Amino acid sequence: MNSIMERWVQTCRRELLDRTLLWNQHHLLHALREFEQFHNWYRPHRTLGQAAPLRALPEPVTDPERITSLSVRRHNRLGGILHEYRHVA
């Protein structure tokens, strides 16, 4: 379990804390909550086949007509430090 936590702390530090100026403990806790939610629901993980741990992979788009009209929107989190991407129907 120690190696898993070390990996999570490294990821959190590299992707969040090294890029953020934190003002106080309340701001730190808010940023960590946002990062945890992003990490578990939206961030793709290589070992899971680019799926997020708490969300299944969407069905692949194989229809050529749907591929040409595919639209993706980006939603910034934590002031643009984290980016969440979604397909638009």
- pLDDT tens digit string along 12-41? 899 889 988 989 999 999 999 998 888 887
| CA gap 15, 20 in Å, rounded | 9
* Percent of the chain whose predicted confidence (pLDDT) is above 90: 15
Are 34 and 77 contacting, i.e. CB atoms less than 8 angstroms apart?
yes
pLDDT tens per residue, range 65-87: 777 777 888 888 888 888 877 77
Domain residue ranges in the chain:
2-88
> Higher model confidence: residue 49 or residue 41?
41
- Which helix H or strand E contains 57, and what residues bound it? none
Global pTM reads 0.67
Burial class (CB in 10 A: 0-12, 13-18, 19+), 31: buried
pLDDT at 43 over 80: no
